[in-house]
Chain A
Amino acid sequence: MKIGIIGSGRMVSSIHLPLLSCIDDVKIEFIADRNNPISLSKMYNTKSIQIDKIGNLPKCDIILLAVPMGIKEKYLYELIERDCHIFAEKPFTVDLASHKKILKLSNKITCNYVRNYYDTTRNIKNIISSEVFGKIEKISILEGGINGKTGLSKNSYQNNPELSGGFLKDSASHTFSQLDFLFDNIFLQEASVIWENGFDVETHAIFHVNDSFSIDYLGTQLKNIEPSTTIVFENYEIKFNHLIPDSIFTISSLNTKKKFVLQHESFFGSTFAQAYYLKWIDFLKKVSSSSKMDGEIETSITTTRIIDNIMEKGIKK
C-alpha cells in the first residue's frame, strides 16, 4: 500500500511516520509540505516534495492529510478528484456545510478520531450496552484545565484559532466523537461559550440523547479541573477519565455508598500508540478489502454537527 503524506508537523513526525514504519506492506511514497520537508523525508528514505500545486503530487493509494484545519478543505477537494483514499487528521472540516459537501463527493475518507480505539471507550460501551446497571439517568463530562506550558513555538499555527479551530474543534471534538460512538441521536439543547482573543476558552453545553437522558458538558480552560465522565444510573454511578486510553472505572452504589475501583483487562488500545495503530489497521483493512465505507461514521459527522450547533448558540460576542 503506497501512502503519501501531506504535512510534516509534530503529529506526522512523532506518531504517523514511526507507526507506519512498523506496519508491513506499507510504503511511504512521499512527504509533502509548503516548506520542503527534506530532512524528515531523508530520515524515512522517501521523496520530499515542496507543494506548489496539489495536483502535481504523485499518485498513491492513500493520502495522510495532516495539515491545519483552516487550510484542509482545498486539499480535500483536490484529493477527492484523484479518487484516492484519505486519512485526515482531526478536526475534519471548518463547519457542517463543508463536511456534508465533502461526503457527497467521496466515501473513501476517514478522520482520525482515535479515542474510539481506547480500552476506556470500548469498556464503557460494553458496560452501557450490557444494561446491567440499568438505564442511564444523566451524564456529566468535565475536561480542559488552564493551558500552562504549551511547548509550542511563537509561530505555531495553533496560535491562530482560524487555523487550529480552537478548543472545541481541536480538542473537544475527540470527546464528541466518543459520544457519537456511544450513543445515537444526540441533540444539543443549550450552549454558552466564553471567548478570549478569538479562542473559545469555555463551553457549557447540555445535550439530550434519545429523549431519555441529558449530558452536561463543561470544557474549560479557565479553571483547573480533573477531567472525568460520570454516568449516573438509577442506583449506581460510574466515573472514569475519558481522555486516557486505560482509565480505571470507579463504580459507586448510590444505595450502599460503597465505592469500588475496576481496572479492566485490556483488549483494545491501552496506550496512545496502540490506539493510533488500531485506527490505522482498521482503515488499511477497509481500503485493501475495497469494502464500502460509511463516510458519516468514518468522519463522525455528528461531531461536526455538535460543534456547529454549539458555535451557533454560543456565537462570538
Chain B
Amino acid sequence: MSLGLIGANGSIGTELSFLLKNDVDIIPITRNQLGSIFLKHHGFSCRVCDVSKKNDAKTHLSDLDASVILSYATDPYSGRQTRSSQKINSDIIKNTIKFSRKNSTIIYFSTIRAFSKDIVPNTSNFWMKSGYEKEKINLEKLVLSESKNNNKRAFILRISQVFGDNQARTNIFKSTLSKQKINVLVDPEKKSNIVHTVTIKDAILKCLSSKSIPGVYSLTNNPQWTWREVIDYYKKSDSIIQYNLKSNNKNNNKSLIQHDNSFFWNLLKSNKKFIKPFLYYVSSKYEPQIQKKLSIKKMSTAISDLKNKKSSHVQEYQNIKSYIDNNDKDHIDKNKIFKNLSDNLSNKDIFSIEEFDFNTIPGPFLNNLANTRTLLKNIHLDIF
C-alpha cells in the first residue's frame, strides 16, 4: 500500500512519516528540496512536488493508493488567508483527488474550529471570523464534492491540539509543567479534545481499511483524555498542580470602531487586527497594496517606538551580582537595580491556554481506534 503524505515536512507530517514507515510504503511529498532534507537524511524516498500545479500532481500522485493532505498554504507576509493562498489550498485538493490512482483513498486534515461557535466559544461572526476557520470549512466542502465527482473515498479528520515528540506544543507543556508550582486554569475533569500523533497514525490506518466508511470524523485520543490526564502525563513527578476555574471576566472586547466612507484605506492604516480578516475577501490584485500598507505601518510604528527609547547607559551589574549572591539583599532595593529582575523560582506560574475554553468535540468518531495510552507505551521515537 503506497501512501503519499502531502506536506510531509510540517511538524505533524514529519512525525507521521516515522510512525507509519513500517506499516505502509510511505512517500513523503514536499513542495521543495529544502523541505525534504531532514526526511531524506533519515532514508525516506521523498518526492519534491508542488501538488497545486497540475503537471506536478499528475507526475507524482498517479501511482499512490492513498494520499494524506496535511499541507495548508497561508500568505507568507501576513500568515493569514488571502485569495492567492485560498487558490493554492483548493488546487492542492482538486489535483490530489483528480490525479491520484483510481479508487484511491484521500484523507484530509481539518480542524475542530470547523465546528465554530458550538465548540470554540470565542469564534467571531461574519467577516471577522478567522480566515483559518472559514478556509477549513470551505476546503472540507471541496474535499467532499471533488471526491464524489471523482469517485474517490474521502475521509475528513477534524483535530484539535496535536501532541507528540515533534510537536512544539508538547515541549511547551513539558517545560511549563516542569516548574515547582503551577496554577492551571481549567476544570481538570473537562474533556480535552487533544490527540497524540500515535492515534493520528492509527486513524490513518483505519481509514485505509475498506471497512471504514468515508465521511467527516472528529479525532481525539481514545478514549478522550481529561485535562487532568493531559497535565498528569506531562508534568514532572514533583511538580505541584493546582486547578482553578477561569474567572468569568469576559475579555474586554475592544469595541470595533465604525469607519466612515474612506473606509478602505483608513482601515488599512488603522489596525492590522482589523485588516487581516479583510485579506480573506479582497481580490488578489489588491494583495500587494495591502501588504505594502501593512509593512509600512509596521516599520513606522517600530521607528517611532525606537525614538522614545532612553539612550544607552551602562547598567549597574555590580548591584545585580550582589543581589544574586544574596550578600546584600536587605540593603538593595531590587527595583532600583532593574525593574525586571525577578527570582525565577519564587513565582508561581499560571498556565492557561485558549483550548481550555473549548467545549467537548462532538462525533462522529472512527470506530475501533486503539487505546492511545497503550499506543504511547509501545512507541519510542528517538529522532527528534
Residues of A with Cβ closer than 8 Å to B? 10, 13-15, 17-19, 21-22, 39-40, 43-44, 122-123, 126-127, 130, 132-133, 146-156, 158-160, 194, 196-197, 199, 201, 221-224, 226, 236, 250-251, 253, 255-256, 258-269, 271, 273-274, 277-278
Contact = CB atoms under 8 A, between A and B. Distances in A.
Contacts of A154: 31-32, 48-50, 53, 56
15 contacts: A126-B315, A146-B14, A147-B37, A149-B11, A154-B53, A154-B56, A156-B34, A158-B32, A256-B325, A260-B320, A260-B343, A261-B340, A267-B313, A268-B312, A277-B299
A172 to B, nearest CB: 16
B353 interface: no
Contacts of A196: 37, 40-41
Contact of B321 (A133, A259, A268): A133
Contacts of B110: none
Contact of B320 (A152, A160, A251, A271): A251
B317 A133 contact: yes
A260 B384 CA distance: 29
Interface residues of B, number: 61
Contacts, number: 182
B250 interface: no
Contacts of A221: 37-38
Contact of A150 (B9, B305, B338, B340): B9
A147 B302 CA distance: 29
B31 A153 contact: yes
B317 A132 contact: yes
A122 B312 contact: yes
B339 A260 contact: no
Nearest to A20: B299
Given A132-B317, A253-B325, 18 more contacts: A13-B295, A14-B291, A18-B296, A43-B288, A43-B292, A123-B315, A133-B321, A148-B9, A152-B34, A158-B32, A196-B41, A197-B40, A250-B344, A258-B345, A260-B344, A261-B340, A271-B305, A273-B299
B315 A224 contact: no
Contacts of A156: 32, 34
Nearest to A21: B296
B1 interface: no
A186 to B, nearest CB: 24
Contacts of B53: 154
Interface in B309-357: 309-315, 317-318, 320-321, 323-326, 338-345
